[in-house]
Amino acid sequence: MNNENKPVKPWGGVFTESTDSRMEAFSESISFDKRMFEQDVRGSIAHARMLADVGLLTRDEFEAIERELLEIKDRIARGEFEFSRSLEDIHMHVEKALIDKLGDVGRKLHTARSRNDQVSLDFRLWIRDAIDKLDALLTDLQKSFVGRCDGDFDVVVPAYTHARRAQPVLAPHVWLAFVEKFQRDRERLADCRKRVNSLNLGTAACAGTSLPIDRTKVAEYLGFDSIVANSVDASSDRDFAVEFAFDMAQIALHLSVWAEDWIWQSTVEFDFLKLPQSFCTGSSIMPQKVNPDALELIRGKTARVVGNLQSLLMLTKGIPLAYDRDLQEDKEPIFDSFETVAASLAIAAPLVAGAELKRESISARLDEGYLDATSLMEYLIRKGVPQRAAHGVVGRLVRQGIESGKALAQFPIETLKEACELVDESVYDYLGALNAVNALKSYGSSAPEQVRFQIDSWKKKLGL
Ligand code: ARG
């Protein structure tokens, strides 16, 4: 028996007891799935339009349903819609509001459809929109990096391996390394979008329906590229969400690597970068502090995005076919990852554009750390010395340099000749970080003409 003052549940008949309020509180998803209201209404209108196409609704009934659904959507958007946790989710809220207005006509909307259908449809539509938003944010960040490249073209910086000075590169070469990573993130999202953009609706609870529905039409109305071919699969599938959670985790990881790099490079110890103060905060006790909080938060928030991926992996492990209520737990991690990653990207773009390279302090120490050692080794290889032998020669010279406090370029020609008789005066064209960069040649290297080519092609790709 249902309580008089409680909204009637759509499962009515078989129950003789009303739902315990503790169960309602435990079971509700409206508090978080209400954000899919626009997608829910969009999906219902497409479904109703198809029902009219195949004669399960009259045109007049469809038009009344469409009009009321749009009105409900506007009411929710304006904040004038009353939510109640006794109506579990967004699907029940929208349908109940429709029935309140249209009576029996409203009761026809759910023909040949289940909430298992609806929840997956709404989630697919929501993720599809989210992917498009992330793509735009990633593009903005790529533009910030590429936008720096011309201005920073003449700056040579150390590239590091094992956090030790390795080889010299042009600063834009590093910027474009991030651009490439974010491009792969965009490609991954685009690939995920193909699987998200497959219509599940029309599989009813799990077996399909005996009613004459037309899924092709619904796919067309909602802009889906394909139709899920198996109703049991459609009802149980959340791969698309797991995949999206991974794609977002990978974006967060890339952002975290960048944040870590820039945190260290903007320290007094490095003194390579000045972060825009508008994206830093101070200390309440130490007046000198300008802290890189934006970068630290981006790095820190990566933890929850990775955690959300972990949640989805565990959630979808070993639940029996087809839909199980466990799957209600899929949304909060996805919503949280999206909000976190979108907010991080939105902060990263202006931060990248607003930072300044500290050219003087970078160049003052550029010839420390033997960044040109590989350049000298390759010079010897070009002179005919086998690589392993050349490596040994340069290694001994570096040891001598460390002992005498000299850079390789500061050695007189006699010392260099003593180390290897094939050396001549031209060796100095390859010593020093600047010369070492200019000597680079291979495709994808930091050779200035390679970097120029890459900058120009990125500008073209990004419409800059
Ligand atoms: N609130 C549910 C969810 O988010 C909707 C689907 C419920 N289906 C069901 N058969 N109980 O997953």
Is-catalytic flag, 162? Answer: yes
256 and 173 belong to one structural domain: yes
DSSP 103-126: THHHHTTTTT--HHHHHHHHHHHH
Active-site hit among 21, 226, 283, 457: 283
pLDDT at 10 > cutoff 90: no
* pLDDT, tens digit (0-9, with 9 covering 90-100), for 395-438: 999 999 999 999 999 999 999 999 999 999 999 999 999 999 99
Asked if residue 229 belongs to a domain, the reply is yes
Query: Does the residue 156 lie in any domain?
Result: no
Burial zone of 209 (CB within 10 Å; 0-12 exposed, 13-18 middle, 19+ buried): middle
59: left (phi over 0), alpha (psi -120 to 50) or beta: alpha
Q: Is the pTM of this model over 0.85?
A: yes
Are residues 123 and 42 part of one domain? no
Structure token pair of residue 445 = 């290297």
pLDDT at 8: 66
Q: Average pLDDT in the 236-244 region?
A: 97
Residues 6+ apart with CB under 8 A from 193: 128, 131
In percent, the amount of the chain with pLDDT more than 90 equals 96
Digit-coded pLDDT (tens) for 378-394: 999 999 999 999 999 99
Q: What average pLDDT does range 136-152 have in this prediction?
A: 98
Structure confidence at residue 339 (pLDDT):
98
- Asked if residue 236 has its Cβ within 6 Å of ligand 1, the reply is no
Task: Judge if 140 and 266 occupy the same domain.
Answer: yes
Is residue 184 situated within a structural domain?
A: yes
Do 173 and 272 lie in a common domain?
Answer: yes
Is a pLDDT exceeding 50 seen at residue 278? yes
Q: How far is the CA of 308 from the centre of ligand 1 (A)?
A: 20
Say whether both 303 and 189 belong to one domain.
yes
Model pLDDT for residues 184-237, shown as the tens digit of each residue: 999 999 999 999 999 999 999 899 999 999 999 999 999 999 999 999 999 999
pLDDT in tens, 280-305: 999 999 999 999 999 999 999 999 99
Residues 212 and 298 in one domain: yes
3 domain-assigned: no
Do 104 and 133 belong together in one domain?
no
157 within some domain: no
- Which stretch of DSSP H or E encloses residue 164? strand 164-170
Residue 7: pLDDT above 70? no
CATH at residue 230? 1.20.200.10
Residue 429: CATH number of its domain: 1.10.40.30
pLDDT-based confidence at residue 2 (cuts at 50, 70, 90): very low
CATH code for position 39? 1.10.275.10
d(CA 209, ligand 1 centre) in Å: 19
The 8-class DSSP code of residue 464 comes to: -
Cβ of 120 closer than 6 Å to ligand 1, yes or no, is no
Are 337 and 284 part of one and the same domain?
yes
Res. 5: pLDDT tops 70: no
Examine the pLDDT at 6 and tell me if it is beyond 80: no
Counted domains in the chain = 3
Residues 360 and 388 in one domain: no
Between the CA of 250 and the centroid of ligand 1 the distance, in Å, is 29
- Cα–Cα distances in angstroms (integers) from residue 299 to residues 77, 181, 253, 303, in the given order: 33, 16, 8, 8
25 belongs to a structural domain: yes
- My answer on whether 304 and 184 are in the same domain is yes
Q: What are phi and psi of 356, to 5 degrees?
A: -125, 140
Residue nearest to atom 12 of ligand 1 (CA): 328
Q: How confident is the model at residue 4, as a pLDDT?
A: 45
Residue 358 C-alpha to ligand 1 middle, in angstroms? 56
pLDDT at 389: 98
Whether residue 261 sits in one domain with residue 194: yes
Distance (Å) from CA 116 to ligand 1 centroid: 6
Convert the pLDDT of each residue in 63-103 to its tens digit: 999 999 999 999 999 999 999 999 999 999 999 999 999 99
Instruction: Count CB-CB contacts under 10 A for residue 392.
Output: 15
99 Cβ below 6 A of ligand 1: no
167/448 Cα distance (integer angstroms): 14
Q: Are residues 200 and 332 in the same domain?
A: yes
Nearest CA to ligand 1 atom 4: 328
- Of the three residues 326, 347, 364, the one that is the final residue of a domain is 364
Q: What pLDDT is attached to residue 9? A: 78
Inside any domain, residue 360: yes
If one residue of 9, 325, 330, 334 were mutated to test the ligand 1 pocket, choosing by the most ligand atoms within 8 A of its CB, it would be 325
Which of residues 315, 331, 364 is at a domain's end?
364
Q: What percent of the chain has pLDDT over 70?
A: 98
Work out which ligand 1 atom sits closest to the CA atom of 88: 1
CA angle 89, 92, 94 (to 5 degrees): 105
Domain that holds residue 37: 19-111
Q: Is the peptide bond before 252 cis (omega within 30 degrees of 0)?
A: no
Q: In this predicted structure, what is the pLDDT of residue 1? A: 39
Question: CB of 115 closer than 6 A to ligand 1?
Answer: yes
Q: Is residue 5 part of a domain?
A: no
Final residue belonging to a domain, choices 341, 364, 387: 364
DSSP string, 272-327: -EE--GGG-B--SS-TT--B-HHHHHHHHHHHHHHHHHHHHHHHTTTPPSS--GGG
Whether residue 3 is predicted with pLDDT greater than 50 in this model: the reply is: no
> Is-catalytic flag, 283?
yes
